[in-house]
Amino acid sequence: MRTTDVVIVGAGVMGCSIAYHLAIQGTDVVVLDRLPQVGAGSTGLCSGGVRHQFSHPLNVQLSIESIRKLANFEDEIGQEIEFHRDGYLFLLTDNELVENYRDAVDMQQKLGVESRIVSVEEITQLTPPLALDDVIAAAYCPHDGVVDPHGVTSGYARAARKAGVQIVLDTDVTAVITNRDQVAGVETAKEMFSAPIIVNAAGPWAATIGEMAGLSVPVQPFPRYVWVTRGFENAPSDWRMVVDAASSFYFHREGEGVLMGMGAPDEVSSFDDHVDWSFLDRLIEVGTRRYPALADASIQTAWAGLYEVTPDHNPILGVAPNLDGYFMATGFSGHGFMHGPIVGEIIADQILGRQPRIDVSAFGLNRFSRTDLRTEQNVV
């Protein structure tokens, strides 16, 4: 049996960021992941978008601090992350959407974010040629952008290892050991790890790691597909993320073409991570209506990843109510990559008994026993 201060289950952006932020303060940390590489779960399959534009003020606060940390990442961590700060633009097609996004923009501005509602004329200056006949306005923030998820995760992993963290790959956590109401360690297929603190950073698999400790962690996996095209005429010249808010069709530049995806109202929870090519027809129908030039694009590659969704589309952060030493950083509902930097710092502070600079108690596990959940509306 190996003994350490903290065991983190999951070597995605969350696990690696938490490990780094703990290790630079002298904590002994082991990170376990069943996959052969760091960031090979949802993190490595995500679209890399980072944005301030949320409807829940706590998500906006997390974005403000995370994006600050990303802006400083190369100096702090010494890793190139290809941070393209060309903004996010949400196209709005009905009055209710405009009102909801206007309320969110008002709240974001009060928190210091330079988001704003823009006219159709301004949209035409910010995008490649789009069909905008049904668009009323857009919500825009020039300080949002797109970042390389591999760069961020491998950067944190390398810096964590340098500070003494052991990242043990190809290692499946099979049980969480508890002693009355206190965690005591984990079992893996290979060996046991004894620790008074366990962090569940298992992304879409977080419910299983919760069950191992007798906890109900309401995180469900939902498959999402990403398609990348080859270059085509009228492909975007910059990296601005454009989202059609009503359909959730989104795209941003990737190579000479675009990276694009879309949710579906009838999607069902599953761990199936194969690309459903029949969904491409639905995406192309919506996508070419909005962005006619896409009709000339050919698909270069595609992949599937899993969103990790909670009932209110907000993450689950902090210690479990009735199990000392069991921390969670999961349930980011499809927008967790961007919050990795600040969540790593916050969870490290909580573990070390320090007051984090953002109070995330509203995102505690115990909120699900209430009926007045505040749902995040701006999910893509």
Ligand X SMILES: Cc1cc2nc3c(=O)[nH]c(=O)nc-3n(C[C@H](O)[C@H](O)[C@H](O)COP(=O)(O)OP(=O)(O)OC[C@H]3O[C@@H](n4cnc5c(N)ncnc54)[C@H](O)[C@@H]3O)c2cc1C
Of 136 and 187, the one with the shorter C-beta distance to ligand X is 187
Which of 115, 104, 119 lies closest to 57, judged by CA? 104
CB of 233 to ligand X, least distance (A): 26
From candidates 18, 20, 41, 141, binder to ligand X by CB under 6 A: 41
Q: Does 35 bind ligand X (CB under 6 A)?
A: yes
Number of neighbouring beta carbons within 10 Å of residue 362:
12
Q: Is there a contact between 173 and 187 (Cβ–Cβ < 8 Å)?
A: yes
Q: Does 337 bind ligand X (CB under 6 A)?
A: yes
Site string for ligand X, 52-91 (x = CB under 6 A): ----------------------------------------
Q: Does 294 bind ligand X (CB under 6 A)?
A: no
Q: Does 330 bind ligand X (CB under 6 A)?
A: yes
Query: Cβ contacts of residue 160 below 8 Å, gap of 6+?
Result: 16, 19, 20, 23, 29, 31, 167
From candidates 224, 253, 290, 313, binder to ligand X by CB under 6 A: 224
Q: Does 9 bind ligand X (CB under 6 A)?
A: yes
Which of 196, 101, 148, 75 lies closest to 340, judged by CA? 148
CB of 333 to ligand X, least distance (A): 7
Q: Does 45 bind ligand X (CB under 6 A)?
A: yes
Q: Which two tokens stand for residue 38?
A: 């760091």
| HEC secondary structure over the chain | CEECCEEEECCCHHHHHHHHHHHCCCCCEEEECCCCCCCCCCHHHCCCEECCCCCCHHHHHHHHHHHHHHHCHHHHHCCCCCCECCCEEEEECCHHHHHHHHHHHHHHHHCCCCCEEECHHHHHHHCCCCCCCCCCEEEEECCCEECCHHHHHHHHHHHHHHCCCEEECCCCEEEEEEECCEEEEEEECCCEEECCEEEECCHHHHHHHHHCCCCCCCCEEEEEEEEEECCCCCCCCCCCEEEECCCCCEEEEECCEEEEECCCCCCCCCCCCCCCCHHHHHHHHHHHHHCHHHHHCCEEEEEEEEEEECCCCCCEEEECCCCECEEEEECCCCCCHHHHHHHHHHHHHHHCCCCCCCCCHHHCHHHHHCCCCCCCCCCC
Task: Judge residue 227's burial from the number of C-beta atoms within 10 Å of its C-beta, 0-12 exposed, 13-18 middle, 19 or more buried.
Answer: buried
Site string for ligand X, 254-293 (x = CB under 6 A): -------x--------------------------------
From candidates 11, 91, 243, 262, binder to ligand X by CB under 6 A: 11
The interface with ligand X within residues 298-317 (CB under 6 A) comprises: 305-308
d(CA 257, CA 374): 37
From candidates 152, 201, 219, 317, binder to ligand X by CB under 6 A: 201
Q: Does 113 bind ligand X (CB under 6 A)?
A: no
Q: Does 27 bind ligand X (CB under 6 A)?
A: no
Of 249 and 307, the one with the shorter C-beta distance to ligand X is 307
Q: Binding residues for ligand X, how many (CB under 6 A)?
A: 41
From candidates 202, 242, 328, 365, binder to ligand X by CB under 6 A: 202
Of 41 and 318, the one with the shorter C-beta distance to ligand X is 41
CB of 371 to ligand X, least distance (A): 26
CB of 187 to ligand X, least distance (A): 10
Of 129 and 219, the one with the shorter C-beta distance to ligand X is 219
From candidates 87, 155, 203, 257, binder to ligand X by CB under 6 A: 203
Q: Does 221 bind ligand X (CB under 6 A)?
A: no
Q: Does 358 bind ligand X (CB under 6 A)?
A: no
Q: Does 244 bind ligand X (CB under 6 A)?
A: no
Of 128 and 334, the one with the shorter C-beta distance to ligand X is 334
Q: Does 205 bind ligand X (CB under 6 A)?
A: yes
Q: Which stretch binds ligand X (CB under 6 A): 79-87, 232-240, 333-341, 368-376?
A: 333-341
Q: Rule CB under 6 A: which residues touch ligand X?
A: 9-15, 32-35, 40-43, 45-49, 172-173, 201-205, 224, 226, 261, 305-308, 330, 332, 334-338
